Structure 1
């Protein structure tokens, strides 16, 4: 089973996005998009302007950015590939703006009116990806729905124990709706962490768990799970008895994290970010970054592809859950 993953791309300045052609040729049957499918607060816009928008203007803005991405030539062709399922989560730039924390936005009357349109825009984007037809995404005249729920936590069994590749479970997290900053930091929040914990603990110990996260787990700068001591520790505790690989984005680079020694096994993390942009969105080195996880009954192979660089590869022994 092959699962591709990447994050951070913008159709505003990057009209050509060859990364999607590469993904399509990889043989992957799943693609996980780890956030920032558009940049509402950059690339021709700015945070101040976005914060000043009313709900209607923000809806036009957000829907427009996601519509442009769905209509981008290489991406649209990939979406129409019915042998590939695409699973998006959101992060700050396709939620509201850089560093926005949903739990705190809920309590701010100046910005709370933006939650309805951003949830509606992301739901429509997810629905269009599920339909394999970019044309199903709403047109500007269609308006947008009120009362759409946040993406929240979802889990998918990509394969079960009877499949040749063994059981693989994908956990799609929502690291924005319940996020806080300052005081008792949270990434997922108590309710979402409870669901994630229950799903992993209820699984057979041979199951491979892929946790999709917009934020990196081990980074010691920027936004990271390490800001939230309780949730960070909870994931490490789960990894002591279950096979967990975190797929993360956000940082506009590809990298392997040093495995966390959590007990008899290790927690692994691999990051791929910068599918179609530059290091600082429109400034710096051009990025064309993506990753591929190939899972068999014996091992988990991970490849990271980057523009003008050799593909980097790591292999995990599935039975021992140790790096080979």
Structure 2
């Protein structure tokens, strides 16, 4: 079973997005889009959408989705993946700040009208519409007719408050969902979110109490956590008493602070019964390559 994962696409007129053809060449079973599928704002115009009228906000967001979904390579890849949408493959994902509202937006800072427009457009274009206010859900993972495990997608924006030790990130209902999903699954577990945990200073650890609650839920579980956001790739082995690898692929088509230049970052997770092979690519080719032993959950960097 092969999962391609990527995030952060800031479409600019006249610029191609060759990363999608590169992903297609790996012939993945699943495509996970992990946030910032569009950019409502980008430097030096950060946070401008918070001042827009609601109708204008919705119009701009709809156009940005339309433009990105019509990029030839992306459109072809998504269409080919959706031909088998379901347990055997397909396109899944969640959002982060720039496709939720604006840079670093928390749910508590965004009015109901903008939040509902954002969610409706995400559901329309991603064709994912969970029966909850936010965007948390799961999907089974299978290959060749055999159930392997499940992917759990979390929402780190809709319910969130501004960072603080006792402030909300996921919220009680989402924690109950996550707890039940983990209890019901004995196989391979991938947890996905737009906001990284340890790979950035702007991650989950700013929410001390909820981060501790999350760590307690995954204690002793073999988990691979996939995320985006930071405009670069990263592979972080388990820390402390957890058995969770954090893997980031960010920058499918975006610049790094408008200095480093265009990214073509993506990841490939290739699961077999014995090992999980994780490769992270940039525009020059293979950047990180790690193999995890599924029995011991030890890893080797190649």
Same fold by TM-score greater than 0.5:
yes
Write the mapping of 1:187-266 to structure 2, written as runs, cut at 5 A.
187-204=169-186, 207-221=187-201, 223-262=202-241, 266=243
Matched with 1:40 is 40
Deviations 1:183-208 (A, max 9, x none): 4233211211111111102222xx11
Matched with 1:173 is 154
Matched with 1:53 is 52
Write the mapping of 1:16-27 to structure 2, written as runs, cut at 5 A.
16-27=16-27
Matched with 1:100 is 105
SS of structure 1 residue aligned to 2:256: strand
Deviations 1:267-306 (A, max 9, x none): 11110000011112x4432210000101111111100011
Q: Give distance in 1, aligned partners of 2:178 and 2:152.
A: 8
CA-atom RMSD, angstroms? Answer: 2.4
Note closer, same or farther for the CA distance 1:292–1:2 as it changes in structure 2 (3 Å cut): same
Asked if the contact 1:92–1:98 (Cα under 8 Å) also holds between the matched residues in 2, the reply is yes
Write the mapping of 1:1-324 to structure 2, written as runs, cut at 5 A.
1-13=1-13, 15-42=15-42, 46-48=46-48, 50-81=49-80, 82-83=83-84, 85-105=90-110, 111-127=111-127, 150-159=133-142, 163=146, 167-183=148-164, 184-204=166-186, 207-221=187-201, 223-262=202-241, 266-280=243-257, 282-324=258-300
TM-score (norm: length of structure 2): 0.89
Q: Give distance in 2, aligned partners of 1:58 and 1:150.
A: 20
Asked if the contact 1:275–1:287 (Cα under 8 Å) also holds between the matched residues in 2, the reply is yes
The gaps in structure 2 that reach 5 residues or longer are none
The gaps in structure 1 that reach 5 residues or longer are 106-110, 131-147
1:218 deviates by 1.1
Q: Give distance in 1, aligned partners of 2:204 and 2:290.
A: 23
1:53 deviates by 1.7
1:46 deviates by 4.7
SS of structure 2 residue aligned to 1:279: coil
Runs (4 or more) in structure 1 with deviation over 6 Å come to: none
SS of structure 1 residue aligned to 2:261: strand
1:239 deviates by 3.0
TM-score (norm: length of structure 1): 0.83
Q: Give distance in 1, aligned partners of 2:211 and 2:163.
A: 16
Deviations 1:230-274 (A, max 9, x none): 2222332233332100001000000111322426xx211110000
